[in-house]
Amino acid sequence: MSFEELSHTADIRMRVAAPTLPLLFSDAFLALMQTLYGKDRMGGETRTVQLEAEYTETLLLDFLSEVLFIGEVDGMVFASADVTTNGRTLVAMLDGEPFDRSRHSEGTEVKGISYSGLAIGKDANGYMVDILFDV
């Protein structure tokens, strides 16, 4: 897991880095879950997400937005995501549990994921992206 919160005036900006694209998506997912609910998250119930997009950045934004939607609609808190992606298609197996106010209230409400500054970079160490969570 490789992500860190960066300073931002109004929202939450996370920098995520990973050696592969599927791990970048998984770590971005973990950054979102930790922002929303803190670290006390467990598995036990699964959901599958399948998406397609023309651009890798759009696919990442759509994935994180879908996770937000599923969490809200189904009352779920996810602990992990096993992601398979080639940058245009994605299949993710989410593992989580029902929301429990006594354990999952450490975080900050995220209203959405912003396109602002969203650009996935690649170098010899792997992939990196800065993501802005609208709070």
Per-residue model confidence as pLDDT tens digits over 42-70: 999 999 999 999 999 999 999 999 999 99
pLDDT at 73: 95
Give 9's pLDDT tier (boundaries 50, 70, 90). Answer: low
Task: Give the type of residue at 121.
Answer: G
**Domains recognised in the chain with CATH numbers:** 3-134 (3.55.10.10)
121 pLDDT higher than 90? yes
Q: Which of 125, 130, 127, 97 lies closest to 23, judged by CA?
A: 127
For 84-112, the pLDDT digits (tens) are: 999 999 999 999 999 998 888 888 889 99
Percent of the chain residues past pLDDT 70, beyond the cut: 94
Given a contact cutoff of 8 angstroms between Cβ atoms, the answer to whether 108 and 12 are in contact is yes
